[in-house]
Amino acid sequence: MPGQVPVRGAVQVQRVSKTYGDVAALRDVSLDVRPGEFLTLLGPSGCGKTTLLRILAGFEQPDAGEVLISGRDVAGLPPHRRPVNTVFQHYALFPHRTVAGNVAFGLEMKGMPAADVAERVARALDMVRLPGLGDRRIDQLSGGQKQRVAFARAVVLEPEVLLLDEPMAALDLKLRKEMQVELKNLQERLRVTFVFVTHDQEEALLMSDRIAVMSRGRIEQLGAPDALYERPRTRFVADFLGVKNVLEAEVASVEGGVARLHTRGGLQILAADDGGYRPGTAVAIGVRPERLRLDGTEPAGESGPLNRLAGILDDELYLGDRTDWRINLGGETVTVAEGAAARRERRRGDAVTVVLPGAAVLRLEGE
């Protein structure tokens, strides 16, 4: 229809709630997924991400709220009548069918003539780089191959939205990294809306256009990967995205764009005011380990207040490309990440000065 906004592939979740027994899996969740977007639902197990995905697929019905797919209310529509397809966590490939038989399943359900089915299946297998493997049995495939078949089986139907339930979880690390890039490239080529569920923050950051971080049945924060990484809003999001240093503090004063904070462990910290500090209130702050320095130099290009904190090297966590130092600052302990080169110069028990730029202090909400 001319003039109408194209909504194919858009998903609107409006105030959806779902309870199992007395466990609230989703509490009043709203979410807009844009057409062609790669949106990730990120969170620990039990956060509701899989429940939300299953509601989109039609395997579960919400207790309250609405779901619109491509602008249409899908309430009461069974899975087989929804314009979405799913890539299951353990692939759920039919063991009694060949690779081609699996990919053909949905096309056969549509009543497509056999010749067309064969052609579409062959093209789909080409796309996932499994040409000529159509006659293989499922139990003859490796994990990565199964994942590709599961993907081909879903996208061959040209869904308006593709739902992916931790599709990488069963793969080993190296293969997972490869598949992440491959899947991201395929998504960009196909321009199909992806709703992707994972508990792996690195995977989410790498692949997504936007990430919805979920916790206890709610979306805690929604945003682009860099926005989320740079500015986690809540304590939960910060913790989940690797902000290892979270300190409890009280706001002593706010003046001229600088908040003066007293931490529970007795440190005085100056933080760049983001407009949210209120004098006399308690606040949680977070600092990424890689924003702290031990070499005493001031970071280039940082404006605002600078903190220098005296401490003692307590412990080291060698991680190959970097080392996480545990620094005892008196009443507080912080983790500082440093490149591998600096490791040789330091030893446990060394007195160090931790340089903390005020701009690196993140004000966090939530208890």
Find the binder of another protein among 85, 180, 201, 263 (CB under 8 A). Answer: 85
Nearer to another protein, 13 or 87 (CB): 87
Nearer to another protein, 127 or 312 (CB): 127
The identity of residue 61, as a single letter, is Q
Nearer to another protein, 78 or 339 (CB): 78
The CB-of-88 to another protein minimum distance in angstroms stands at 5
Contact between 53 and 213 (Cβ < 8 Å): no
Which helix (DSSP H) or strand (DSSP E) does residue 133 occupy? Answer: none
Matching residue, tokens 């760049």: 272
The CB-of-60 to another protein minimum distance in angstroms stands at 10
Find the binder of another protein among 39, 55, 57, 195 (CB under 8 A). Answer: 57
Say which residues have a Cβ less than 8 Å from residue 16's Cβ, sequence separation at least 6: 26, 28, 29, 30, 52, 55, 62, 64, 65, 66, 67
DSSP letters along 195-206, please?
EEEES-HHHHHH
Residue 106 binding another protein, by CB under 8 A: yes
Residue 20 binding another protein, by CB under 8 A: no
Pull the structure tokens for residue 38: 């790669």
Contact between 329 and 265 (Cβ < 8 Å): yes
Nearer to another protein, 55 or 352 (CB): 55
The CB-of-105 to another protein minimum distance in angstroms stands at 5
Nearer to another protein, 17 or 89 (CB): 89
Nearer to another protein, 108 or 315 (CB): 108
CA dist 70 to 8, 9, 106, 252, 312, Å? 5, 5, 20, 51, 58
Residue 229 binding another protein, by CB under 8 A: no
Find the binder of another protein among 6, 30, 64, 94 (CB under 8 A). Answer: 94
Q: Candidates 56-64, 120-128, 198-206, 210-218 — which segment interacts with another protein by CB under 8 A?
A: 56-64
Number of residues in contact with another protein under rule CB under 8 A? 24
Question: Within 156-185, which residues bind another protein (CB under 8 A)?
Answer: 157
Say which residues have a Cβ less than 8 Å from residue 63's Cβ, sequence separation at least 6: 17, 18, 19
DSSP letters along 81-123, please?
GSSEEEE-TT----TTSBHHHHHHHHHHHTT--HHHHHHHHHH
CA dist 134 to 163, 239, 361, Å? 24, 45, 55
Find the binder of another protein among 46, 65, 71, 79 (CB under 8 A). Answer: 79
Q: Candidates 38-46, 94-102, 243-251, 261-269 — which segment interacts with another protein by CB under 8 A?
A: 94-102
The CB-of-97 to another protein minimum distance in angstroms stands at 9
Residue 114 binding another protein, by CB under 8 A: no
The CB-of-127 to another protein minimum distance in angstroms stands at 17
Nearer to another protein, 96 or 344 (CB): 96
Pick from 93, 11, 10, 21: nearest CA to 55: 11
Residue 110 binding another protein, by CB under 8 A: yes
Q: Candidates 52-60, 212-220, 231-239, 325-333 — which segment interacts with another protein by CB under 8 A?
A: 52-60
The CB-of-113 to another protein minimum distance in angstroms stands at 16
Query: Long-range contacts: 337-346, Cβ < 8 Å, 24+?
Result: 337/288, 337/289, 337/290, 337/292, 338/293, 338/294, 342/294, 342/295, 343/316, 343/318, 346/294, 346/313, 346/316
Q: Candidates 89-97, 169-177, 185-193, 224-232 — which segment interacts with another protein by CB under 8 A?
A: 89-97
* Burial degree of 78 (CB within 10 A; 0-12, 13-18, 19+): exposed
Find the binder of another protein among 64, 109, 282, 340 (CB under 8 A). Answer: 109
The Cα 360–Cα 271 span in angstroms is 8
Contact between 38 and 207 (Cβ < 8 Å): yes
Binding stretches for another protein (CB under 8 A): 57-59, 78-80, 84-86, 88-90, 92-96, 105-106, 109-110, 153-154, 157
